[in-house]
């Protein structure tokens, strides 16, 4: 089974939901926000506080590497 996230115009929302909710094994999660657990928020904040300049990578360099690998 695969998971899919879509962005659709508001005027197509009801039609889209009506079509897919009748399909077997389809789960429609209509939450507007994604909840991040408190433990994960704390972990990220700790990492941000402890980060040093040498821990960071230049975005342009990373993008070049990714482009070479995937494009």
Chain centre to alpha carbon of residue 27:
18
Query: Taking a C-beta distance cutoff of 8 angstroms, is the pair 28, 17 a contact?
Result: yes
Q: What is the pLDDT of residues 41-63, one digit of tens each?
A: 999 999 999 999 999 999 999 99
Report residue 3: phi and psi, to 5°: -115, 140
- Which sequence spans correspond to the domains of the chain? 10-70
Summarize pLDDT for 4-35 with one digit per residue, the tens: 888 899 999 999 888 888 888 888 888 777 78
**Residue whose tokens read 């089974």:** 1
pTM of the model: 0.42
């Amino acid at each position: 089974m695969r998971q899919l996230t879509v962005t659709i115009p508001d005027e197509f929302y009801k039609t889209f939901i009506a079509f897919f909710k009748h399909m077997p094994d389809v789960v429609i999660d209509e939450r507007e926000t994604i909840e991040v657990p408190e433990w994960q928020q704390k972990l990220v904040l700790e990492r941000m506080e402890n980060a040093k300049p040498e821990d960071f990578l230049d975005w342009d360099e990373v993008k070049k590497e990714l482009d070479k690998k995937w494009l």
